[in-house]
Amino acid sequence: MGEIKTKAKGPDTPEKFRLDPEVIKADFPILNRIIGDNRLVYLDNAATTQKPESVILALDDYYCKMNSNVHRGLHTLAEESTAAFEETRKKIAAFIGGVRTEEVIYTRNATEAINLVAYSWGRKNIKKGDRIVLTEMEHHANLVPWIALARETGAELKYISINENYRLDLSEIDKIITDNTRLVSITHMSNVLGTVNPVEEIGRAAHRNGALFVVDGAQSAPHMSVDVKAVDADFYAFSAHKMLGPTGIGILYGKESILERMEPFIYGGEMISEVRYDFASWNDLPWKFEAGTPNIAGAVSFSPALDYLSTLGMDNIRDHEVELTAYTIARLSELKSVKIIGPSDTDMRGGAISFVDKDIHPHDLATFLDSRGIAVRAGHHCAQPLMKRLGLTATTRASVYVYNTTEDIDKLIEALKEARRYFCDE
């Protein structure tokens, strides 16, 4: 990995150091791409991150050297493929706080992980009159499955609101999370606002009332140290592609005691123990929830992404992003036409920074920025209810990661000024 050096404080614990994003950039081939006449400035990391060369080579290496199905063959390729597939599961278990591998389930993405909980746990345990508690800042992935479940079962949906500082209003949490609450499901970090939510506090409120606690970690797992045991999440969902890994691989962590009582989500091969013409029984955890041929290549190539993040150190990644987010907010605040949609306090927010220009539609702005080689996101960001709550139809979003620099942000600001000249004749 470039020239990055760390000193171990303990097993797999990198020394605190300042990231050098220019060194890191060299590990990402796509960042050399020229868009128009400009070198790519990639600021759409909340949607998906770019991949280091080690991940790309691992994907190629898998197909060139060990392509085979897992858990089913006795030949060399099958044994090597299975070992690599399960080795990644061990790394994931360590990465999220040292949980048991039986508690780590492969899915396609965080969306499927949340759906697994909704279908397998929710349909059995949620009934008419029960309450499901969400927040006003949820991504559709953590809204629609629960809306569908409430519609099907007659359960009540209740939302924790956001305040004027774009944070959750917890002043009446004991009136929202009550003894008839069966499930609380919240985002750890908003993909629109960047807000980092107090998941430990909300989890305690859920458990005081006997509710299941689900955390959407799609935006947090890539950007900060996550210990699911410290959070005391019953379920925690995230995606590989937002943390330098390939697309098509998601993770659901679930407490073993809960997973054991759940029925499978999808039925078929691999997830069975015994099948007769009139009977079927299920495999052990975690394979009970992994029917059919999985994305083996994706799982195997996620391994070097985890290695890359672990070598950098998640605390170091967080420090870099806090610093760069503060810089971005300060530079955007220089533009009188721009309003930032999210907290200004960078200690309790992530690097997804949404903003609006009072005169330029976000789609027009994103298209203009693309013409300058700058990739951002524009739209409702799969959070339509939040947009309506804020009185907006869309925002432009710049989101940073380990390879972004202050120079990237300076180019964004200059392009935004140029857009004003182009659209507003300033």
How far apart (Å, rounded) are the C-alpha atoms in residues 209 and 213? Answer: 11
Is 424 a catalytic site residue? no
Q: Within a 10 A sphere around the Cβ of 172, how many other Cβ atoms?
A: 10
Q: Within a 10 A sphere around the Cβ of 370, how many other Cβ atoms?
A: 16
Helical axes 296-312 vs 53-61, angle rounded to 10°: 150
Catalytic residue among 31, 348, 382, 413: 382
Q: Within a 10 A sphere around the Cβ of 122, how many other Cβ atoms?
A: 28
Buried b (16+ CB within 10 A) or exposed e, 131-154: bbbbbbbbbbbbbbbbeebbeebe
Residue 378 forms beta bridges with which residues? 396
Closest alpha carbon to 221 in 62, 140, 113, 122: 113
How far apart (Å, rounded) are the C-alpha atoms in residues 133 and 157? Answer: 6
How far apart (Å, rounded) are the C-alpha atoms in residues 193 and 67? Answer: 41
Task: Identify the residue whose tokens are 């330098």.
Answer: 244
**Helix H segments across 290-405?**
296-312, 314-332, 362-371, 384-390
Tokens of 320: 């870099």
Tokens of 334: 């220089």
Task: Identify the residue whose tokens are 């999210």.
Answer: 342
How far apart (Å, rounded) are the C-alpha atoms in residues 45 and 63? Answer: 27
Catalytic residues: 382
